[in-house]
Chain A
Amino acid sequence: MERIHNHPILEEKTGKKVKFYFDDQEYYGIEGEPVSTALIANDIEIFSIHRKADSPKGIFCANGQCSNCTVIIDGIPKKSCITPLEKGMHVQTLKHLPELPPDDHRLDFSEKKEFSCDVLVVGGGPSGLNATIELAKQGFSVTLVDDKEALGGKLVLQTHKFFGSIKDCYAGTRGIDIGKKLAQQVREFDNVRVCTNSSVVGIFEDKKAGIFKNNKSYYLINFKGLVVSTGAREKSLVFKGNDLPGVYGAGAFQTLVNRDMVQSSQRIFIVGSGNVGLIAAYHALQAGIEVAGICDILDDVSGYKVHADKIRRMGVPIYLNHTIISANGKEKVEKVTIAKVNDNYQPLLDTAKTFSVDTLLIAVGLSPVDEFYDKASQFDFPVVKAGDASEIAEASSAMFGGRIAGLEMSRKLGKDIEVDESYNQKAEILKSEPGDVYPRQKIHLKNSFQPIIHCVEEIPCNPCTSVCPNNAIDLVENKGDLTDVPEFHGECSGCTLCVAVCPGLAITLAKKINKKYAEVVLPHEFVPDFEEGDKIAMTDRDGHYLEKGEVLQIRQNRKYQTWIINARVSLENATEIAGIRIQEQEATQPLDKAEFEYIPDDGIVCQCEMVSAGEIVDYIKSHRVRDVNQLKQIRVGMGACGGNTCSTLLPRIFQKAGVDWEEVQQGTKRPLDREVPMFAIINEKAVEDDE
């Protein structure tokens, strides 16, 4: 596998090349990058052999949550996704149980590290950053803790332009840039202490939080109020082969591709057509990775239609009413099979299609990470939650939610302030689900450019209306809010700003050249692999091939990092042409014959301890289980991740066993939220300055 050298949006990753060893072979990686990334960049995808199942394990969350990526580093078991690569490291496959190496040097130093603040903000994503800014403005001392190296949360993985409004939430700006802007603002406050590479591992009843920092030290933080902006975790899915290396979440994929810049796959398939799955396809194509397709069990795309249309235009088929039935491969994913479902969502096996891919991304929804909120509420601490931790929605709404949370916390801590009602309204609108779809009106081309708006579904987004110098694009007055669809009226100067800013790549310009030909202007977010004079494949809004157009001009709008392509096309198709096909159709062809095993109960629910759906269902029935805690007996939830991965699957598993989930007692959450080595808890090795 390769590193990504020629990304349309991201700059090439630079750093010192260092030698390291894996199973005694020499390799090279970039100093400071996660060991897992260095391994994947060297085509090493099997990190361990599971102690119980004797099966290979690879990267899974890339987020420090699970322990699938554990390897032996210089003799000690460590999670490779959160261990920075150092020169000369000896990395080994973890086979079954690790050995704890003898280490007899006496304890000669230990320290208790403790400090205080007014408000502890957990999670520095869009909501946490905004909450921090509001609290800092009110004069509170704030400690912002985030487990990544860079602030911004998932914003730093988003290479696409954001929806929403320019005024309120940076619409039209790419996520990575929004993250940087917010982080910059936060760092300007003297009363904010930022702890990156730090995880809150426990909220204790004596109003302290335990922080695991830089993989080596442990702090206790005393706080008065707590803001929980810990984001979401990805839901997983049970199917045959779901534990194979190469099956992982879209979040992990985005981390590998957009943060660490490794071309982690050749070809992927994606389950789930929400915005996360759709965007993952877009990220893959930008990274030079083929996307064989996206499937969704529902009969309509779950994400924004403009996103889906954009992906289809790029040449990725979306299979609706289809579910994944198996992933196969010897040591990692080699093939995946999907099938159509009937009205009861059961697969129709004679419709099975198998694709040859090396990676399967699961993007079937998110669930809030709000355990610290629950804990703090239980202890009666002043606490608020914001962003996905509160309700799964777009980052634009999380930013507003963060501001509101910051103000609410200020109020809880005694400040006499009211939350501006317009904030709540805006946050609500930005959360809106996609609304109605409108038919497009027939357009007659003129001899001068005019915009063709291919955005026909109500979503909360309006940057096109803000950038037009002639104010010639407005939202159609229908619902009367940000979700109305845009409409062009008046004069177009042909400036192409609307083309460049639209997050959905859903605006083109077109004008008549003569009776036969027209010129269109298309947005393009890939490094052009064509030149002026070349003929390239053009599609309509929904991705259907229309014709080859001749490239007349290639420009780049630097502000919006978007290429603007002028092409000559037939007059007949000019108003229909909406995009440029990126990938050849061969990449999306299923195999001639489907190859799969359909054993629904064979899928793994607990990845840490490798417990299958069937085992759990049987146990629920035989032991009349009505308490998730009872499943610990078969080790469900006893692994390193603390039940974070399997918890989202359990409702359906109980349902399968004939038990109403409402009747079931939830599992107990206790510290630590992540595993912490003993030397870190006593700060044996760490003497470091605070930020």
Chain B
Amino acid sequence: MNNYDIIIIGAGSVGVPLSYYLAEAGADVAVLEKNCSVGRGQNRAAIGGIRATHSNPAKIKISQKTIDIVSRIDVEYGFDVDWYRGGYLFAVYTEKHENDLRDLLELQKHYKLNIDWIPPSRVEKLVPGINSSGLRGGTYSPEDGSASPLKVADAFYKLALDAGVDFHFKEEVHKFETNSNKIKTVFTDKNKYSGDLIINAAGGNARDIGELLDTDIPVFPDSHEGGITEPVQRFFDPMVIDLREGNISANYYFYQNVEGQIVFCMTPKPKIPGKDTNCTSKFLPEVIRRMVNLYPRLRNIRVRRTWRGLYPMTPDGFPIIGYDPKIENMFLTVGMCGHGFMLGPGLGEILSEVLIDGDHKHDDILQELSPERDFSGMEKLE
């Protein structure tokens, strides 16, 4: 039997930074991961955007912390994770989207976020050559940015290893032994483990872990596809989001990473529920037509690779953070709704303060994202 203070299930965008912060705070931590290495669930599929400009305080606070951590990880720990503060730009072409975003601005400004409405001329300056026909302007948040999900996961993996975290790869949790609503033993296909606290950070598989314990965790993955191009010299800075609808898509977005590659992603409409991550033939023709229409300059760039990843969704579109209502010693950090990468590092630091130090300063976050909340609200900007 392997005994630990804390066992984290899932070595992904959330589990890896969390393991580091917990170990750094003094806990004896193990991470159980069914894949062969870190970030092979959905971290590998994240396109790398990190923004604090959300619509609710908890996500704003957590991702602000992430930006703080990721933007300084180079200086503080010596890891180059391709952080680039290029900003986020919602380019707006319809009255409805203008109204929606202007409404949201009030809330975002209330939380002191650096975001504002900008006129078409400013949009064209930020994205030289963007389609100006019908362009109404947009919201722009210059302090948001991007980093390489792969490199961030890798940096925290190295930090976690150095902090003494035990990673157990290629081990899938398949059974729990409980005693009066407390997990006593975690069984993987190879070993058994015990810990005082079990953290469910299983991303797209969070609900399956719950099922092993007869507790219903409302996380339902759907899938998005993404792609990347060859690298070219930088020609625009921000993450560009187009909220309009296409033939088989809702919004799509793209940015230019530090390598010079355009990374892009599309939200399918209707949604495609389930865990299938095989590439479809529909994605490229749809997303590329929309991208070239919005930004004709892109027509000459070559697409290098595509992939598909999961958005582990919750009924209201907000993450679930807190103790499981039924299992006493299982803490949930699940349902990131496609934002695991931008929430993970901040969440890791916050939760180490909550779980190790017993700090109450984050109670507002925990309350908002509580597993026992009313799930009937809806995130405004998915």
Contacts and interface: CB of A to CB of B under 8 A. Distances in A.
Interface in B296-332: 296-307
A625 interface: yes
A632 interface: yes
A97 B305 contact: no
A677 B299 contact: yes
A105 to B, nearest CB: 6
A579 to B, nearest CB: 49
Contact of A112 (B36, B154, B285): B285
Given A99-B232, A670-B279, A642 B284 contact: no
B230 A640 contact: yes
In this complex, the interface size class of chain A, counting residues with CB under 8 Å from chain B, is: 35 or more
A100 B281 contact: no
Interface string B230-241: 111101000000
Nearest to B132: A104
A675 B232 CA distance: 14
B126 interface: no
Contacts of B58: none
B296 A106 contact: yes
Interface string A670-682: 1110011111011
A677 B158 contact: no
A208 B283 CA distance: 12
Contacts of A140: none
Contacts of B276: 205
Nearest to B297: A103
A422 to B, nearest CB: 40
Contacts of B233: 97-100
Contacts of A627: 35-37, 40, 169
A479 interface: no
B178 interface: no
B284 to A, nearest CB: 5
Nearest to A633: B154
In this complex, the member of B161, B276, B285 whose beta carbon has the largest number of chain A beta carbons within 10 angstroms is B285
A107 interface: yes
Contacts of B278: 204-205, 378-379
A678 B300 contact: yes
Given A220-B281, A630-B154, A678-B292, A102 B129 contact: yes
Interface string B261-295: 00000000000000010111110110011011100
Contacts of B232: 77, 97-100
Given A103-B296, A107-B296, A678-B291, A629 B40 contact: yes
Nearest to A619: B154
A202 B303 contact: no
A670 B303 contact: no
B303 A678 contact: yes
A684 interface: yes
24 contacts: A77-B230, A98-B232, A100-B297, A103-B297, A104-B296, A204-B278, A205-B280, A206-B282, A210-B281, A220-B281, A622-B158, A623-B158, A626-B37, A627-B35, A627-B36, A627-B40, A629-B37, A629-B40, A665-B37, A671-B306, A676-B303, A677-B300, A678-B229, A682-B289
**Interface pairs A-B: 3 shortest CB-CB:** A675-B302, A665-B36, A627-B37
Given A205-B278, A678-B299, 10 more contacts: A77-B302, A100-B297, A106-B133, A112-B285, A206-B280, A678-B291, A679-B292, A679-B300, A682-B292, A684-B299
